[in-house]
Chains A and B, each alone.
Chain A
Amino acid sequence: MKYQVNEHGYYGEFGGAFVPEMLYPNVDNLKKKYLEIIQSDDFKQEFELLLKDYVGRPSPLYYSERMSEVYGAKIYLKREDLNHTGSHKINNTIGQILLAKRLGKKRIIAETGAGQHGVATATVCARAGLDCVVFMGEEDVKRQRPNVEKMEMLGATVIPAMSGNRTLKDATNEAIRDWINHPNETHYIIGSVVGPHPYPDMVARFQSVISQEMKWQLMEQTGKENPDTIIACVGGGSNAAGAFYHFLDDEDVELVAVEAAGLGVNSGETAATSQVGNDGIIHGSKTLLMQTEDGQIIEPYSISAGLDYPGIGPVHAHLYKTGRVKFLNATDDEAMEAVFELTEKEGIIPALESAHALAALKKMALKKDQVVVVNLSGRGDKDMDTYIRMKNEK
């Protein structure tokens, strides 16, 4: 349990709840109730049934013969892209909407980068009959248009965030401000393992179904429940937290997190927080953060809206500092190359975020019998505009 949150809400030195006092009652209420609610039998039954019949879980663990050939190892893809709404984000929103109902909340807010979390939130709100407001950076509204249309069709109101770089960080700021202004009726469904305690732990628990399934799927397919290596991309880090969760204490399983390098780690246009960040506070938690000498948050950059974030979840800051997880990164170009490679080799068009995880394969010394699971966090539908542009330039 050395990598799990402690009773004060910390992962080592990271975590906590540094929220404006106005949010204290809401966050404290969540902290007091979340475990009891999500560990209750009736919650678990409803959650598991929805994951099965509504999301379509378990998501397949697919042995990719052709990628295995290319990389000289046994490459498996955990197919979160096949989930309803197209990514892992729905695992968390299903959990949180069931929680929100039990807390008696009537209105849901969320932030979104790529729009996947926004769509997943709008989806569960439609099903639950709750009002839904999604904050999305104006820049992301432009680059992830299909998801904006989807959210609106699902009945959500999408509010463009106009501050900063107008991306994920700014959308999160606006969501937090909205929560300050509507403290009673509203539940904030955070989309990653970020934010004040208990969010990082709660979101990780909802996403942990990914590694839970991996264990028995690997056992079925390889005869061993542990792989040698797991690779996942990290924006805030929820798909990685879910993919690593049940393997954290199995120290012989190599865990690899891949951040977005943007134009290059040292280019000044990057989102590789672990490489260029240091201790700071963002969105209510102490973690690694891209910031100036003066403590101002630096605007990140990545072609992938879902990874374009200047922090990482506190659990990942801890996993980085302790060396339990190896942190790699991939540039825009490397990710794009990985998109086309998987598409050509396997007939699977991945999300730009997930392509960063795939791009790491090129950077690793792999062995022939090494069992490697890449968490394919989402599908590429939302990125088709970008892909079409690239395809036509080729």
Chain B
Amino acid sequence: MNRINQLFNDTQDKIKSIYFTAGHPAPNTALTIIQELEKNGINMIEIGMPFSDPLADGPTIQRSSEFALEQGMSVKKLLEEIKDVRQTVSIPLLLMGYFNSVQKYGVEQFCKDISAIGIDGVILPDLPLEYYEANYQATFEKHNIIPVFLITPQTPDERIRQTDKLSKGFIYMVSTAATTGTQSGYAQETMDYFKRIKDMNLSVPTVTGFGISNKETLEQASRYSAGGIIGSAFVKAVDGSEDLAGDIADFVKTLS
């Protein structure tokens, strides 16, 4: 069974997931960050593949991506860095990025290579559902790679159902109409949206992302879903870090 499904089957508690940008805060830190996050009790990790033009990202992740690219990060280099990750890490790992990086690498080759490393899923916010279904579903399934799709407060019910049908792991529930970044709290209408999605009784779990900055927003974000994904707040917390293990432990502590 794919580790993502295993996680949602086995875990009763809310899932805590972290996004980080590969190549940030310094070159060759991806493996260490993954190991430290697992050690500190994080349940699932999104490894960001930095892209030159990250349309869905706010300033924090834009800057971390720019930094990583300046320091020479690339998809190939990332895969090389984490090629032995499964010797030490057992939680689900996903790659997150933009479709251009993957199409340039070659979708089939990409799925094959990341599957060999032990990556479980991929999140590409600009790969349309229909395009995936028509062109890549078979490839992803062949290599046991789970695609994760996004829904937002504006997504019509019919499309949410369609997303649910194509989802094999979980649905990424984007909290608010916004690029990535942190917020101090969610408005009532956002909570209503979370509840509305829960009441749709989808076939796969939802995990909430965008705007989670601390324990309170994580709790709000997880109330009607299986858990939350923290991105920008983590990227900020490790920016310029000279003691990754210490800073990661400190950050994760603030979440509970």
Q: A residues engaging B (CB < 8 A)?
A: 16-22, 24-26, 163-164, 169, 173, 176-177, 180-184, 279-284, 289, 291, 293-297
Contact = CB atoms under 8 A, between A and B. Distances in A.
A21 B178 contact: no
A294 B155 contact: no
A361 B51 CA distance: 39
Contact of B155 (A21, A283, A297): A21
B154 A22 contact: yes
Q: How large is the interface on B (under 10, 10 to 19, 20 to 34, 35 or more residues)?
A: 35 or more
B203 to A, nearest CB: 19
Contact of B177 (A19, A180, A282, A293): A180
A183 B179 CA distance: 11
A279 B104 CA distance: 8
Interface stretch (B112-120, B123-131, B185-193, B220-228): B123-131
A18 B53 contact: no
B74 interface: yes
Interface in B148-177: 149-152, 154-156, 159, 174, 177
B62 interface: yes
A291 B104 contact: yes
A22 B152 contact: yes
Contacts of B103: 279-281, 295
A25 B174 CA distance: 14
Contact of B150 (A22, A279, A296): A22
Secondary structure type dominating chain B contacts = loop
Nearest to B50: A296
Given A25-B155, A294-B74, A294-B76, A18 B104 contact: no
Please list the 8 inter-chain residue pairs (A to B) with the smallest Cβ-Cβ separation, ordered nearest first.
A295-B104, A20-B56, A21-B150, A294-B74, A296-B52, A25-B154, A295-B101, A20-B125
A281 B159 contact: no
A16 B51 contact: no
A284 B55 CA distance: 10
Given A176-B55, A181-B179, A297-B52, A163 B66 contact: yes
Interface string B197-222: 00000000000000000000000000
15 contacts: A18-B99, A20-B150, A21-B126, A24-B159, A173-B53, A177-B56, A182-B177, A183-B154, A184-B177, A280-B103, A295-B51, A295-B100, A295-B104, A296-B51, A296-B74
A283 B98 CA distance: 11
A182 B154 CA distance: 11
A21 B55 contact: no
B31 interface: no
A163 B154 contact: no
A289 B156 CA distance: 32
Contacts of B75: 294-295
Nearest to B52: A296
A282 B105 contact: no
Nearest to B55: A176
Interface string B80-108: 00000000000000000011111111000
Contact of A21 (B53, B69, B74, B149): B149
Contacts of B151: 21
Contacts of A22: 56, 125, 150, 152, 154, 174, 177-178
